[in-house]
Structure 1
């Protein structure tokens, strides 16, 4: 078949022939069959040496950029108030609660333990001095700085292991090296350095595992499979968004398994038994092993945190009984009929409250109320929160204990009325029932059924005694089976902007849980308040783990309130705004979390270019025009496609989230976009000319004695392409270096900037301080 001039489209056989299918099946997956060490791609041992030298240099630069000036500022910055505090709690064995899994926080605690820190400082406020409080903060910051430096090295290794040229490796790693966001996030006591490194390691380990696909079940094959699973476990054990890495690797595994199922695959078809072995091995290495490691970090978490602490309130009384020194449980009082109690909502901390005011005749939307007495949630404790607990029939003797599943009535002492719920819509929720009160006479007369409520203790046993503090319960309206519930949206002025109390038809949610905060009718010196020394109880690990998981997921989903520096996913690839971390008014210094705009815009642009290349290639193939050789297309779809998959799976899921989002959530996706930049540099400046080049085309015959050396057009093309690739590499990294240097004062927090210098850096929506 005739060929056209170099660089033009070449007509080939229509894709889909038997030969092409067999070749393609061998290449499906994240890396190519042709993948080898770059030293094999070019002749001579110098190539391997060049990669090693470049790897060493870029690793040293990564450590310098992350550790340079790490002691500044010497005070608490941004979310160091959280993760530094958690490290201190670990060192004090004090139980705390956080919405993130424990692995990243355990690394900080390990560093504190290694330097002999006792956890005395609790990082209460941004701006608190580390020096005055004698905190080894540099050691704490050194942990993420170390991990962030290694991330740059891992990016280089990902490209190297995928057999990309040295310029491609340097561009990908250099964009991460010179990115202000990656630097800024890894110089402080934050979790993202651990998360991003674990994500990058999962890509690297899976590539090394995939390269051994022709040696299944060998020792190295198992090693890299297990290491991939371990990296995935570290990812999700740091933050739950680490699940996205499972989606990335899982998608590649599904493609790989689909090709293994092909009976036409090179090397012969697998039997169903052999296929089952492959499936089982991957399930073991990428699902079971990561899950076991995930459980292991929680076991360490529970083993360390043995003392009562600020996290107790998030857990059930049964869980709290496994912690020593729990004051709340020690002060629990058995509740008797006719006791006066105050009832508090577990999550919002509002008290069940009532007062003389009535519900308005009509609400703003036109619905009609009962005009009964208001029942609300009130954040402060006063006498309007006092309720007397009454039996269903007034024949119980004083001193009779209230128990789980008992039916009771609640009498509001100040207004001498009884709590009631009925089939009238609440102020804000037309589907939920209104709570009000009626007279005592009606409560034991015509409205007797509507004033009956069931005490349903969470995880309680039959006849379990109802206690203050320790008995978390749901108050279930007996006739209608709705649960008493409240929320934080305040009622209008007619209710003094207090919280709405209503009947929730969904009984299961934990937001329906209340507790008796105190029993005012029992004097402090009463024998009922005298308790024996309590023994610490034990709960099975899985029960504690399940309870903590439920609480973590629930509170994570509640992070929906607005934040001045929150951003939306569509803003991230274009770096439209950042986050203020720290300011110092006297010196006009500030740390503003922001990526390198030039690097981010290059990466985002090439994401669109990659999508365009794939689209154009597909259209060309539809028209019978094949512009790419097999190896180039295989690398473009499989290796670069794997990086694009990593970017997409770490980016698009955020559009489905309703919680607060910030720029740092894009860092794993940004790393993947840097890999794509390196891969596309190799694609554009391809050092491999067309395989259809005429073999007789030789030029540049060497003169003189000895064997003649012919320089083929292929070699000349490769040399020119490599020069072009190096030029592009230098240009891209030069631009990135300029962007890094320009925004350096905002990343490192010094030097302070004048008004004019700040204004010159106020690109797009960057809401910088000291701009006037």
Structure 2
């Protein structure tokens, strides 16, 4: 029993082991077969024939597509770029500024230096020496390689296209939309025409687009919570670099800067909520976000902007036609100036010019035109150019005049009076040499700054009116670095180095600038008033003698060495002067400007601009956007408003909406809005090219709307029609950008609207 039982158990176990080994072998064989099947199927391309290209492959999106689009953009922008061999439109300005850099002659302009420095760089690379004057309409001489300089400028416009494509991809648009936006950017004729000349507009557009591209990258990283990674820091620096450059080309770069700023503030508010309410973000991380933004989006742009002015001052170290708008000390530091000559002490009878130390550092000026209201006496202004109307003679007070003593009249019996120095506390009169009238303050409201008193010139040399008297109040004596001039009398008035105030003896107010400009009747020159100022550090009430002539006084034995100008002071003064000059660019109501236009005309393409002469022998360019692109992009603005209503309705009904897509649309719309609305509010004269950055974002907004629409099987048809329409419209209007030869009557068929002066 026992043995039998044991034998039975053993047999059963043996069978069990055999069966287990068999099953294990089957499993191993099955595993091998499955691995072989996986390996084979992984190498198959299901539904993708080997001979079919994948246009959504990264190599196309990152390399091939941008290269194709860039090549097309290069062709249309470089084609016939040399055809107009004469100075066209604002090439007269920016070409001349480039020449000033090459000759190192100081000039003044309303725009920051970066764009003009790049123009100068193009001239330097082209072998241009700066001697050509860039007079409008003048044919370029053989030694000016204007074609190279235009190509250099055009390069910035060409690069806008690949940036537009990459921005579209980053925003998540489908490839149909990405190509449509890129094609619209290529054949948009406003930017295309401007790109063919030596102007700042292509640089401005490029840096605007570059900054927006950086912002879109930041947003994409922000959505993934990767702003504090290396990639996030890189794109923050790139965006800050773009902000610094765009503001250093033109001040309208502040508009795209505002877009970056609003986005940044909004994001930091959200993160503040996450830190204080939801507790999903630590204070350390939140403060780190602040630190990164401050460094990359504030410190870096400001550093770039300041650096361009530092380079500006370093390069322009010779006197030039624009030095009438800068401080006396900065002028004195320029090679070739004549401010070091002349006697070192101002005396009665001296011929002088007076420069304001305020934020509008121009010369005191008067001319033979009267105020239309108020005293209706001779106007007194500040002027940024040197001429005879800036010259005044220092006369004794009225008491001396009543005693028949005049420093400004030749009196052979009273030669000693020409040696009396003007000192602190003296009462003087200032006689305008050209008209013979005296500077005075009137107890009536100034014409612009009505809370101050009017300043005028009135009377004649032998007049004796106490209203003409001013009291000298010395404020600061700037020290010369030369030991020969460091012991000058600190109570005397010295040209260049003495800062003083002029207090009206009767009214007690001070001769002052305001930074405002007179209307057209005052030739848009700077306003001069008499104002009450309790602070003696009010620089608007400070003046200095710039030019000094008195042949009765001895010249210094050695040449005077003026104090060195302070960079920060000159930087602030120059920027304020630029702001004042921009504010003075007002339209003249008494004069029709056929080139200017209004903000409402741009989105509907109501008008264009003749960029040159319109004779039969002239090659003519008409600055006008591509009609189809402009009108479609304007339509996109209206469609976006409808889109917002639809999204709001869905949100209210609790339908699912794409919050990030909607937010992307808002960023694009905000970029258009902030690049357009400021021109509505501006009082300055405006031109169609001011719409250039806004037009770019309007194109993107149209693409955004199309991308949100599901066309289904009609997608190929819709986008195909748009592609063909954009290109066909460009071909039809191409001569406006490529140049019209012969009579303008031959191109009358291009005049779709009667307001187009073709």
**Band of TM-score, shorter chain:** 0.7 to 0.9
Q: Distance in 1 between matches of 2:389 and 2:60?
A: 79
SS of the residue aligned with 2:317?
coil
1:767 alignment counterpart: 757
The answer (yes or no) to whether the contact 2:455–2:530 under 8 Å persists in 1 is no
- The answer for the alignment partner of 2:663 in structure 1 is 638
| Equivalent residue for 2:146, pick from 137, 161, 184 | 137
Alignment of 1:231 with 2:242, yes or no, is yes
Rounded Cα–Cα distance in structure 1 between residues aligned with 2:274 and 2:610: 57
Tell me whether 469-478 or 740-749 shows the greater mean CA deviation: 469-478
Question: Which of residues 399, 402, 405 is equivalent to 2:419?
Answer: 399
Q: Distance in 1 between matches of 2:525 and 2:273?
A: 62
- Is it true that 1:553 corresponds to 2:543 in the alignment? no
Aligned counterpart for 1:341 among listed residues 346, 351, 365: 351
| Counterpart check, 1:409 vs 2:429 | yes
Task: Please show how residues 149-160 of structure 1 align to structure 2 within 5 Å.
Answer: 149-160=158-169
How many Å apart are 1:609 and its aligned residue? 0.5
- The residue that corresponds to 2:747 in the other structure is 757
Alignment CA distance shift 1:410-1:548 (3 Å): closer
Structure 2 length normalisation: TM-score?
A: 0.77
1:140-164 per-position Cα deviation (integer Å, ceiling 9, x unaligned): 1112211100001100110012221
What is the distance in 1 between the residues matched to 2:562 and 2:448?
Answer: 44
Residue 594 of structure 2: SS of its match in structure 1? coil
Counterpart residue number, 1:745: 735
Match of 1:6 in 2: none
User: How far does residue 732 in structure 1 lie from its aligned partner after superposition?
Assistant: 1.8
Within-5 A mapping of 1:683-702: 683-685=708-710
Count of residue pairs brought into register by the alignment:
661
Secondary structure of 1:483 counterpart: strand
Distance of aligned partners of 1:192 and 1:434 in 2 relative to their CA distance in 1, 3 Å threshold: closer
Q: Is the 8 A contact 2:342 2:556 kept in 1?
A: no
Matched with 2:272 is 261
Report the Cα distance in structure 2 between the residues aligned to 1:105 and 1:500, rounded to whole angstroms.
26
Is this contact kept in 2: 1:412–1:419, CA < 8 A?
yes
Distance 2:440 2:238 in 1: 60
For structure 2, list consecutive stretches of 5 or more residues without a partner in the other structure. 1-47, 406-415, 479-488
Is 1:203 aligned to 2:212, yes or no?
Answer: yes
1:491: how far off?
7.2
Name the structure where helix makes up a greater proportion of residues.
2
- Aligned counterparts, 1:361-440, within 5 A: 374-376=377-379, 387-391=393-397, 394=400, 398-403=418-423, 406-410=426-430, 420-424=440-444, 432-433=453-454, 435=456
RMSD of Structure 2 on Structure 1 (CA)? 4.0
C-alpha displacement of 1:60:
0.4
CA distance, structure 2, for counterparts of residue 651 and residue 587 of structure 1: 37
The correspondence for 2:607, drawn from 577, 587, 598, is 577
Gaps of 5+ in 1: 1-38, 687-720
Deviates more, 1:316-325 or 1:742-751: 742-751
Q: Does 1:127 align with 2:155?
A: no
**Whole-angstrom CA distance in 2 between matches of 1:610 and 1:425:** 50
Specify the alignment match of 1:597 in structure 2: 627
How far has the Cα of 1:83 moved from its partner? Answer: 0.8
**342-351 or 560-569: bigger deviation:** 342-351
The equivalent of 2:506 in structure 1 is 479
- Does residue 1:670 correspond to 2:695, yes or no? yes
For the structure 1 residues 608 and 511, does the alpha-carbon distance in structure 2 shift closer, same or farther, using more than 3 Å as the test?
farther
Q: Which has the larger radius of gyration?
A: 2
More moved, 314-323 vs 532-541? 532-541
The whole-number CA distance in structure 1 between the counterparts of 2:133 and 2:54 is 55
Match of 2:257 among 204, 226, 246: 246
For the residue of structure 1 that corresponds to 2:621, the secondary structure is strand
1:99 to 95, 107, 110: 110
- Alpha-carbon contact 2:113-2:312 (below 8 Å) kept: yes
Partner of 1:4: none
The corresponding residue for 2:203 is 194
Following the alignment from structure 1 to structure 2, what is the Cα–Cα distance between the partners of residues 599 and 677? 10
Superposed CA deviations along residues 70-106 of structure 1, whole A, max 9, x for unmatched, are: 1121111111111111111111121111111111111
Distance 1:531 1:608, change over 3 A: farther
Deviation at 1:216, TM superposition (A): 3.8
Matches within 5 A, 1:649-664: 649-664=674-689
